[in-house]
Structure 1
Amino acid sequence: IISHGDYDVSGALIEHKRQLIHRRNQLDRLITTVEKTIAHNKGEISMTNAGKFEGFKKEKLTQNEKNFGKEIRENYGEETIKKSNKNFMNLSEEDYMKMQKAETQIFDLLKEVVRSKDLESESAQGVYNKHKYWLSFTWETYSPQAHIALAQMYAQDERFRKYYNDRAGEEVVSTLLDIIVKYAK
Protein backbone atom coordinates (compact mmCIF):
# COMPACT_ATOMS: atom_id res chain seq x y z
CA ILE A 1 0.00 0.00 0.00
CA ILE A 2 2.77 2.43 0.95
CA SER A 3 4.54 1.93 -2.37
CA HIS A 4 1.34 2.64 -4.28
CA GLY A 5 1.76 5.86 -6.28
CA ASP A 6 -1.10 7.87 -4.77
CA TYR A 7 -0.59 6.85 -1.13
CA ASP A 8 -0.28 9.97 1.04
CA VAL A 9 2.57 9.09 3.41
CA SER A 10 2.57 12.52 5.08
CA GLY A 11 -1.16 12.43 5.64
CA ALA A 12 -0.96 8.92 7.09
CA LEU A 13 1.86 9.92 9.44
CA ILE A 14 -0.03 13.02 10.58
CA GLU A 15 -3.12 10.92 11.32
CA HIS A 16 -1.02 8.30 13.12
CA LYS A 17 0.58 11.03 15.24
CA ARG A 18 -2.89 12.45 16.09
CA GLN A 19 -4.05 9.01 17.23
CA LEU A 20 -0.91 8.48 19.31
CA ILE A 21 -1.31 11.87 21.01
CA HIS A 22 -4.95 11.04 21.76
CA ARG A 23 -3.94 7.70 23.32
CA ARG A 24 -1.13 9.39 25.29
CA ASN A 25 -3.61 11.96 26.66
CA GLN A 26 -5.98 9.18 27.68
CA LEU A 27 -3.16 7.34 29.43
CA ASP A 28 -1.97 10.54 31.16
CA ARG A 29 -5.46 11.12 32.55
CA LEU A 30 -5.72 7.52 33.69
CA ILE A 31 -2.26 7.66 35.32
CA THR A 32 -3.27 10.84 37.17
CA THR A 33 -6.41 9.13 38.46
CA VAL A 34 -4.46 6.05 39.56
CA GLU A 35 -1.89 8.25 41.31
CA LYS A 36 -4.66 10.09 43.15
CA THR A 37 -6.26 6.80 44.14
CA ILE A 38 -2.94 5.47 45.47
CA ALA A 39 -2.38 8.68 47.43
CA HIS A 40 -5.94 8.47 48.78
CA ASN A 41 -5.45 4.83 49.83
CA LYS A 42 -2.25 5.82 51.65
CA GLY A 43 -4.15 8.58 53.43
CA GLU A 44 -2.09 11.30 51.76
CA ILE A 45 -5.08 13.02 50.14
CA SER A 46 -8.82 12.95 50.47
CA MET A 47 -10.60 11.85 47.33
CA THR A 48 -14.31 12.51 46.96
CA ASN A 49 -16.75 9.92 45.67
CA ALA A 50 -17.27 12.21 42.68
CA GLY A 51 -13.54 12.12 41.96
CA LYS A 52 -13.47 8.35 42.25
CA PHE A 53 -16.47 8.08 39.93
CA GLU A 54 -14.81 10.35 37.34
CA GLY A 55 -11.72 8.14 37.45
CA PHE A 56 -13.87 5.04 37.13
CA LYS A 57 -15.59 6.44 34.01
CA LYS A 58 -12.25 7.38 32.46
CA GLU A 59 -10.95 3.89 33.11
CA LYS A 60 -14.06 2.34 31.51
CA LEU A 61 -13.63 4.50 28.40
CA THR A 62 -9.93 3.63 28.16
CA GLN A 63 -10.74 -0.07 28.44
CA ASN A 64 -13.51 0.22 25.82
CA GLU A 65 -11.17 2.12 23.52
CA LYS A 66 -8.49 -0.54 23.87
CA ASN A 67 -10.91 -3.40 23.28
CA PHE A 68 -13.23 -2.00 20.61
CA GLY A 69 -12.02 1.45 19.52
CA LYS A 70 -11.05 0.53 15.99
CA GLU A 71 -14.28 -1.32 15.19
CA ILE A 72 -16.66 1.26 16.64
CA ARG A 73 -14.90 4.08 14.77
CA GLU A 74 -15.05 2.11 11.51
CA ASN A 75 -18.77 1.53 12.01
CA TYR A 76 -19.87 4.88 13.44
CA GLY A 77 -17.14 7.41 12.71
CA GLU A 78 -14.88 9.51 14.91
CA GLU A 79 -17.41 12.27 15.60
CA THR A 80 -20.15 9.89 16.77
CA ILE A 81 -17.75 8.09 19.10
CA LYS A 82 -16.49 11.39 20.54
CA LYS A 83 -20.08 12.45 21.30
CA SER A 84 -20.88 9.09 22.82
CA ASN A 85 -17.77 9.20 25.03
CA LYS A 86 -18.62 12.75 26.09
CA ASN A 87 -22.14 11.66 27.02
CA PHE A 88 -20.69 8.78 29.03
CA MET A 89 -18.30 11.09 30.88
CA ASN A 90 -21.23 13.42 31.67
CA LEU A 91 -23.27 10.64 33.27
CA SER A 92 -24.17 11.20 36.88
CA GLU A 93 -23.66 8.34 39.29
CA GLU A 94 -27.45 7.93 39.39
CA ASP A 95 -27.67 7.70 35.58
CA TYR A 96 -24.81 5.23 35.49
CA MET A 97 -26.66 3.05 38.00
CA LYS A 98 -29.82 3.27 35.85
CA MET A 99 -27.78 2.22 32.84
CA GLN A 100 -26.34 -0.77 34.73
CA LYS A 101 -29.81 -1.77 35.97
CA ALA A 102 -31.13 -1.63 32.38
CA GLU A 103 -28.24 -3.84 31.24
CA THR A 104 -29.05 -6.43 33.90
CA GLN A 105 -32.71 -6.36 32.87
CA ILE A 106 -31.71 -6.83 29.21
CA PHE A 107 -29.87 -10.03 30.09
CA ASP A 108 -32.69 -11.34 32.29
CA LEU A 109 -35.29 -10.71 29.57
CA LEU A 110 -33.01 -12.03 26.84
CA LYS A 111 -32.61 -15.35 28.65
CA GLU A 112 -36.42 -15.61 28.89
CA VAL A 113 -36.73 -15.07 25.12
CA VAL A 114 -34.01 -17.63 24.37
CA ARG A 115 -35.94 -20.19 26.42
CA SER A 116 -39.37 -19.35 24.97
CA LYS A 117 -38.13 -18.72 21.39
CA ASP A 118 -40.99 -16.20 21.15
CA LEU A 119 -39.96 -12.96 19.42
CA GLU A 120 -43.55 -11.70 19.78
CA SER A 121 -43.47 -11.94 23.58
CA GLU A 122 -43.49 -9.08 26.06
CA SER A 123 -40.01 -10.19 27.07
CA ALA A 124 -38.74 -9.76 23.51
CA GLN A 125 -40.31 -6.31 23.29
CA GLY A 126 -38.78 -5.59 26.69
CA VAL A 127 -35.31 -6.55 25.45
CA TYR A 128 -35.64 -4.11 22.57
CA ASN A 129 -37.04 -1.29 24.72
CA LYS A 130 -34.44 -1.76 27.45
CA HIS A 131 -31.58 -1.92 24.93
CA LYS A 132 -32.83 1.25 23.24
CA TYR A 133 -33.11 2.91 26.67
CA TRP A 134 -29.59 1.72 27.56
CA LEU A 135 -28.26 3.29 24.35
CA SER A 136 -30.00 6.58 25.17
CA PHE A 137 -27.48 7.22 27.95
CA THR A 138 -24.62 7.55 25.47
CA TRP A 139 -26.08 8.04 22.01
CA GLU A 140 -26.65 11.62 20.89
CA THR A 141 -29.68 10.60 18.80
CA TYR A 142 -31.36 7.26 18.20
CA SER A 143 -31.39 5.69 14.76
CA PRO A 144 -33.03 2.32 14.03
CA GLN A 145 -30.43 1.67 11.33
CA ALA A 146 -27.56 2.36 13.75
CA HIS A 147 -29.22 0.13 16.35
CA ILE A 148 -29.44 -2.73 13.85
CA ALA A 149 -25.82 -2.12 12.76
CA LEU A 150 -24.73 -2.30 16.40
CA ALA A 151 -26.55 -5.60 16.90
CA GLN A 152 -24.96 -6.95 13.71
CA MET A 153 -21.55 -5.94 15.04
CA TYR A 154 -22.34 -7.79 18.30
CA ALA A 155 -23.18 -10.90 16.26
CA GLN A 156 -20.18 -10.70 13.92
CA ASP A 157 -17.38 -9.76 16.31
CA GLU A 158 -16.24 -12.61 18.51
CA ARG A 159 -15.33 -10.28 21.40
CA PHE A 160 -18.87 -8.86 21.58
CA ARG A 161 -20.37 -12.34 21.18
CA LYS A 162 -18.18 -13.59 24.02
CA TYR A 163 -19.15 -10.68 26.31
CA TYR A 164 -22.88 -11.14 25.77
CA ASN A 165 -22.85 -14.93 25.82
CA ASP A 166 -20.56 -15.14 28.87
CA ARG A 167 -22.62 -12.56 30.74
CA ALA A 168 -25.83 -14.47 30.00
CA GLY A 169 -24.28 -17.89 30.57
CA GLU A 170 -25.66 -19.09 27.23
CA GLU A 171 -25.85 -18.16 23.53
CA VAL A 172 -27.97 -15.00 23.36
CA VAL A 173 -26.41 -12.77 20.69
CA SER A 174 -28.33 -14.27 17.76
CA THR A 175 -31.59 -13.74 19.61
CA LEU A 176 -30.62 -10.17 20.50
CA LEU A 177 -29.93 -9.47 16.82
CA ASP A 178 -33.25 -11.02 15.78
CA ILE A 179 -35.12 -8.91 18.34
CA ILE A 180 -33.47 -5.64 17.35
CA VAL A 181 -34.00 -6.29 13.63
CA LYS A 182 -37.66 -7.08 14.32
CA TYR A 183 -38.46 -4.04 16.49
CA ALA A 184 -36.09 -1.28 15.34
CA LYS A 185 -38.20 0.84 13.03
Structure 2
Amino acid sequence: MRYTIDDVSKLTGLSKRALRFYEEKGLVFAKRNEANYRFYDSADLDRIQTILFLTAFDIDLQTIKGILDDPKVDLLSLYETHLGALYEKRAQLDLIISNLSLTIDAKRRDEPMKDSDKFKGFKQNLIDNNDKLYKKEVIEKYGEEAYQKSRKAFSHMSEADFERFGGLERKLFEALEKASTTTGDVQSLYMKEAYNYHKEWLTMAWGYYHEEAHLNICQMYLDDERFKKHYDDVKPGFAQLLFDSVKKSIR
Protein backbone atom coordinates (compact mmCIF):
# COMPACT_ATOMS: atom_id res chain seq x y z
CA MET A 1 0.00 0.00 0.00
CA ARG A 2 1.19 3.51 -0.76
CA TYR A 3 1.04 6.37 1.72
CA THR A 4 1.54 10.06 0.98
CA ILE A 5 3.58 12.21 3.31
CA ASP A 6 0.29 13.61 4.64
CA ASP A 7 -0.92 10.08 5.36
CA VAL A 8 2.26 9.19 7.24
CA SER A 9 2.14 12.44 9.19
CA LYS A 10 -1.39 11.62 10.36
CA LEU A 11 -0.55 7.98 11.15
CA THR A 12 2.62 8.71 13.13
CA GLY A 13 1.96 12.13 14.62
CA LEU A 14 5.20 13.33 13.07
CA SER A 15 5.21 16.60 11.19
CA LYS A 16 6.04 16.59 7.48
CA ARG A 17 9.11 18.63 8.40
CA ALA A 18 10.24 15.86 10.77
CA LEU A 19 9.77 13.24 8.06
CA ARG A 20 11.82 15.28 5.62
CA PHE A 21 14.48 15.71 8.32
CA TYR A 22 14.68 11.93 8.72
CA GLU A 23 15.18 11.69 4.98
CA GLU A 24 18.00 14.24 5.08
CA LYS A 25 19.69 12.18 7.80
CA GLY A 26 19.40 8.99 5.77
CA LEU A 27 17.00 7.37 8.22
CA VAL A 28 14.02 7.08 5.87
CA PHE A 29 13.94 6.83 2.09
CA ALA A 30 10.68 7.99 0.50
CA LYS A 31 9.95 6.83 -3.01
CA ARG A 32 8.64 9.02 -5.83
CA ASN A 33 5.57 8.34 -7.95
CA GLU A 34 5.04 9.21 -11.61
CA ALA A 35 4.17 12.80 -10.65
CA ASN A 36 7.34 13.03 -8.52
CA TYR A 37 5.40 13.10 -5.23
CA ARG A 38 6.77 11.34 -2.15
CA PHE A 39 5.16 8.10 -1.08
CA TYR A 40 5.89 5.47 1.56
CA ASP A 41 5.07 1.79 1.89
CA SER A 42 4.61 -0.58 4.84
CA ALA A 43 8.36 -1.24 5.08
CA ASP A 44 8.94 2.51 5.44
CA LEU A 45 6.35 2.63 8.23
CA ASP A 46 8.17 -0.22 10.00
CA ARG A 47 11.37 1.78 9.76
CA ILE A 48 9.70 4.93 11.10
CA GLN A 49 8.21 2.93 13.99
CA THR A 50 11.69 1.65 14.81
CA ILE A 51 13.05 5.20 14.79
CA LEU A 52 10.34 6.34 17.19
CA PHE A 53 10.97 3.41 19.53
CA LEU A 54 14.72 3.95 19.58
CA THR A 55 14.29 7.69 20.06
CA ALA A 56 12.03 6.93 23.03
CA PHE A 57 14.89 4.81 24.41
CA ASP A 58 17.09 7.96 24.37
CA ILE A 59 19.26 6.62 21.54
CA ASP A 60 20.77 9.38 19.39
CA LEU A 61 19.99 9.59 15.67
CA GLN A 62 23.50 8.69 14.51
CA THR A 63 23.36 5.46 16.52
CA ILE A 64 19.83 4.81 15.26
CA LYS A 65 21.06 5.10 11.66
CA GLY A 66 23.77 2.55 12.40
CA ILE A 67 21.19 0.18 13.87
CA LEU A 68 18.85 0.58 10.93
CA ASP A 69 21.61 0.06 8.39
CA ASP A 70 23.08 -3.02 10.09
CA PRO A 71 21.30 -6.21 9.01
CA LYS A 72 22.97 -8.11 11.85
CA VAL A 73 21.23 -6.07 14.56
CA ASP A 74 18.65 -8.13 16.44
CA LEU A 75 15.82 -5.63 16.89
CA LEU A 76 13.69 -8.16 18.78
CA SER A 77 16.33 -8.59 21.49
CA LEU A 78 16.83 -4.82 21.62
CA TYR A 79 13.09 -4.26 22.03
CA GLU A 80 12.81 -6.95 24.70
CA THR A 81 15.66 -5.41 26.70
CA HIS A 82 14.13 -1.96 26.59
CA LEU A 83 10.65 -3.29 27.30
CA GLY A 84 11.97 -4.79 30.54
CA ALA A 85 13.57 -1.47 31.43
CA LEU A 86 10.32 0.37 30.71
CA TYR A 87 8.35 -1.99 32.95
CA GLU A 88 10.84 -1.33 35.75
CA LYS A 89 10.57 2.42 35.13
CA ARG A 90 6.77 2.23 35.17
CA ALA A 91 6.82 0.36 38.49
CA GLN A 92 9.14 2.99 39.91
CA LEU A 93 6.93 5.82 38.62
CA ASP A 94 3.87 4.10 40.11
CA LEU A 95 5.62 4.11 43.49
CA ILE A 96 6.50 7.79 43.20
CA ILE A 97 2.95 8.65 42.08
CA SER A 98 1.58 6.74 45.06
CA ASN A 99 4.05 8.52 47.34
CA LEU A 100 3.05 11.92 45.96
CA SER A 101 -0.65 11.12 46.33
CA LEU A 102 -0.13 10.12 49.97
CA THR A 103 1.87 13.29 50.57
CA ILE A 104 -0.83 15.51 49.02
CA ASP A 105 -3.52 13.72 51.01
CA ALA A 106 -1.61 14.12 54.27
CA LYS A 107 -1.02 17.82 53.62
CA ARG A 108 -4.67 18.42 52.74
CA ARG A 109 -5.74 16.78 55.98
CA ASP A 110 -2.93 18.61 57.81
CA GLU A 111 -1.79 15.30 59.27
CA PRO A 112 1.78 14.00 59.62
CA MET A 113 2.87 11.42 57.07
CA LYS A 114 4.31 8.11 58.20
CA ASP A 115 8.11 8.20 58.01
CA SER A 116 8.06 4.76 56.35
CA ASP A 117 5.98 6.17 53.49
CA LYS A 118 8.04 9.29 52.78
CA PHE A 119 10.70 7.73 50.56
CA LYS A 120 8.84 5.10 48.56
CA GLY A 121 10.16 5.09 45.02
CA PHE A 122 13.07 7.43 45.65
CA LYS A 123 15.57 4.81 46.79
CA GLN A 124 14.84 2.68 43.71
CA ASN A 125 15.36 5.75 41.56
CA LEU A 126 18.72 6.27 43.25
CA ILE A 127 19.70 2.64 42.60
CA ASP A 128 18.64 2.85 38.94
CA ASN A 129 20.59 6.09 38.41
CA ASN A 130 23.63 4.60 40.14
CA ASP A 131 23.45 1.58 37.83
CA LYS A 132 23.15 3.81 34.78
CA LEU A 133 26.13 5.94 35.76
CA TYR A 134 28.53 3.57 37.48
CA LYS A 135 27.68 -0.11 36.92
CA LYS A 136 29.85 -0.75 33.87
CA GLU A 137 32.85 1.21 35.16
CA VAL A 138 32.69 -0.27 38.68
CA ILE A 139 32.55 -3.86 37.38
CA GLU A 140 35.34 -3.26 34.84
CA LYS A 141 37.68 -1.60 37.33
CA TYR A 142 36.80 -3.18 40.69
CA GLY A 143 34.88 -6.36 39.90
CA GLU A 144 31.38 -7.74 40.36
CA GLU A 145 31.78 -8.00 44.16
CA ALA A 146 32.41 -4.25 44.50
CA TYR A 147 29.35 -3.51 42.38
CA GLN A 148 27.14 -5.83 44.44
CA LYS A 149 28.37 -4.18 47.66
CA SER A 150 27.39 -0.82 46.24
CA ARG A 151 23.92 -2.01 45.23
CA LYS A 152 23.41 -3.59 48.65
CA ALA A 153 24.48 -0.38 50.38
CA PHE A 154 21.87 1.57 48.41
CA SER A 155 19.04 -0.90 48.91
CA HIS A 156 19.59 -1.10 52.68
CA MET A 157 19.60 2.65 53.27
CA SER A 158 17.14 3.72 55.94
CA GLU A 159 15.06 6.85 55.44
CA ALA A 160 17.52 8.73 57.66
CA ASP A 161 20.46 7.41 55.61
CA PHE A 162 18.73 8.44 52.40
CA GLU A 163 18.25 11.98 53.67
CA ARG A 164 21.84 12.13 54.85
CA PHE A 165 23.09 10.82 51.50
CA GLY A 166 21.39 13.64 49.62
CA GLY A 167 22.55 16.15 52.20
CA LEU A 168 26.17 15.11 51.78
CA GLU A 169 26.13 15.97 48.10
CA ARG A 170 24.60 19.37 48.84
CA LYS A 171 27.32 20.02 51.42
CA LEU A 172 29.95 18.86 48.93
CA PHE A 173 28.78 21.42 46.38
CA GLU A 174 28.72 24.13 49.05
CA ALA A 175 32.31 23.32 50.02
CA LEU A 176 33.41 23.31 46.37
CA GLU A 177 31.73 26.67 45.84
CA LYS A 178 33.61 28.17 48.79
CA ALA A 179 36.88 26.60 47.64
CA SER A 180 36.36 28.05 44.16
CA THR A 181 36.08 31.59 45.52
CA THR A 182 38.93 31.55 48.07
CA THR A 183 42.69 31.08 48.05
CA GLY A 184 45.51 29.91 50.30
CA ASP A 185 44.84 28.23 53.64
CA VAL A 186 41.13 29.07 53.54
CA GLN A 187 40.77 27.35 50.18
CA SER A 188 42.69 24.33 51.51
CA LEU A 189 40.26 24.11 54.41
CA TYR A 190 37.24 24.03 52.10
CA MET A 191 38.95 21.54 49.77
CA LYS A 192 39.49 19.26 52.78
CA GLU A 193 35.80 19.64 53.63
CA ALA A 194 34.86 18.73 50.05
CA TYR A 195 37.05 15.63 50.27
CA ASN A 196 35.48 14.55 53.57
CA TYR A 197 31.93 15.01 52.29
CA HIS A 198 32.68 13.09 49.10
CA LYS A 199 34.46 10.38 51.05
CA GLU A 200 31.43 9.86 53.28
CA TRP A 201 29.11 10.00 50.25
CA LEU A 202 31.14 7.30 48.48
CA THR A 203 31.29 5.15 51.61
CA MET A 204 27.49 5.21 51.80
CA ALA A 205 27.19 4.54 48.06
CA TRP A 206 29.77 1.73 47.92
CA GLY A 207 29.41 0.15 51.34
CA TYR A 208 33.19 0.49 51.81
CA TYR A 209 35.98 3.01 51.24
CA HIS A 210 39.36 2.83 49.49
CA GLU A 211 41.61 5.84 48.87
CA GLU A 212 42.93 4.69 45.49
CA ALA A 213 39.41 3.92 44.30
CA HIS A 214 38.34 7.38 45.48
CA LEU A 215 41.01 9.09 43.41
CA ASN A 216 40.27 6.83 40.42
CA ILE A 217 36.57 7.63 40.50
CA CYS A 218 37.34 11.37 40.55
CA GLN A 219 39.68 10.89 37.59
CA MET A 220 36.80 9.18 35.83
CA TYR A 221 34.67 12.26 36.53
CA LEU A 222 37.19 14.24 34.49
CA ASP A 223 37.65 11.70 31.70
CA ASP A 224 34.00 10.90 31.05
CA GLU A 225 31.73 13.76 29.95
CA ARG A 226 28.67 12.13 31.57
CA PHE A 227 30.23 12.39 35.02
CA LYS A 228 32.01 15.68 34.43
CA LYS A 229 28.72 17.27 33.38
CA HIS A 230 27.10 16.28 36.69
CA TYR A 231 29.59 18.48 38.54
CA ASP A 232 30.34 21.18 35.99
CA ASP A 233 26.64 21.83 35.43
CA VAL A 234 26.57 23.11 39.02
CA LYS A 235 29.59 25.28 38.31
CA PRO A 236 32.24 24.95 35.58
CA GLY A 237 35.46 23.56 37.03
CA PHE A 238 33.86 21.65 39.92
CA ALA A 239 34.94 18.23 38.58
CA GLN A 240 38.58 19.33 38.42
CA LEU A 241 38.36 21.01 41.82
CA LEU A 242 36.95 17.85 43.39
CA PHE A 243 39.77 15.78 41.88
CA ASP A 244 42.34 18.27 43.21
CA SER A 245 40.68 18.18 46.64
CA VAL A 246 40.83 14.39 46.84
CA LYS A 247 44.39 14.18 45.48
CA LYS A 248 45.60 16.80 47.94
CA SER A 249 43.89 15.12 50.90
CA ILE A 250 45.03 11.53 50.41
CA ARG A 251 48.64 12.19 49.39
Q: TM-score, normalised by structure 1?
A: 0.71
Asked if the contact 2:175/2:191 (under 8 Å) is kept, the reply is yes
1:100 aligned onto 2:166: yes
1:146 equivalent among 210, 213, 223: 213
- For residues 32-64 of structure 1, give each alpha carbon's deviation from its aligned partner in whole angstroms, at most 9, with x where no partner exists: 34345556759xxxxx76356242211222233
Alpha-carbon distance between aligned partners in 2 of 1:184 and 1:133, rounded to the nearest angstrom: 14
Match of 1:34 in 2: 93
Q: 2:245 aligns with which of 159, 168, 179?
A: 179
| Secondary structure, counterpart of 1:142 in structure 2 | coil
Distance verdict in 2 for CA 1:38–1:152, change over 3 Å: closer
Q: Distance in 1 between matches of 2:196 and 2:165?
A: 13
Compared CA separation, residues 126 and 79, structure 1 to 2 (3 A): same
Aligned-partner Cα distance in 1 for 2:97–2:200: 36
Spell out the pairing of 1:81-92 with structure 2 (5 A cutoff).
81-92=147-158
Deviation of 1:68 after TM superposition, in Å, equals 3.8
Instruction: Indicate if the aligned counterparts of 2:172 and 2:197 stay in contact, CA closer than 8 A.
Output: yes
* Regions of 4+ moved over 3 Å: 26-42, 48-52, 117-120
- What letter corresponds to residue 225 of structure 2 in structure 1? E
Deviations 1:67-102 (A, max 9, x none): 443223222222211111111111111111112111
Q: 1:111 aligns with which of 172, 177, 188?
A: 177
Aligned residue-pair number:
161
Q: Which moved more, 1:64-73 or 1:146-155?
A: 64-73
Deviation at 1:147, TM superposition (A): 0.6
Indicate yes or no: 2:195 matched with 1:136: no
The equivalent residue for 2:231 is 164
TM alignment of 1:48-87, pairs within 5 A:
50=116, 53-87=119-153
Contact residue 30 and residue 58 of structure 1 kept, 8 A? no
| Stretch moving more, 138-147 or 61-70 | 61-70
**For residues 166 and 180 of structure 1, what CA distance do their matches in structure 2 show?**
20
How far apart, in 2, do the equivalents of 1:160 and 1:113 lie?
20
In the superposition, relative to structure 1, how do residues 108 and 35 fare at CA in structure 2: closer, same or farther (>3 Å)? closer
Q: Which amino acid aligns with 1:93?
A: E
Q: Aligned-pair distance for 1:28?
A: 5.0
CA–CA distance in structure 1, aligned partners of residues 164 and 142 of structure 2: 25
Q: Which is higher, the Rg of structure 1 or of structure 2?
A: 2
RMSD, aligned α-carbons? 3.1
Give the deviation of 1:122 after TM superposition: 1.3
Structure 1 portions without partners, runs of 5+: 1-19, 43-47
Is 1:121 the counterpart of 2:180? The answer is no
The answer to whether the Cα contact below 8 Å between 1:87 and 1:138 also exists between their aligned partners in 2 is: yes
Q: TM-score, normalised by structure 2?
A: 0.54
Letter in 1 for 2:91: T
AA partner of residue 166 (structure 1): D
- 2:159 partner letter: E
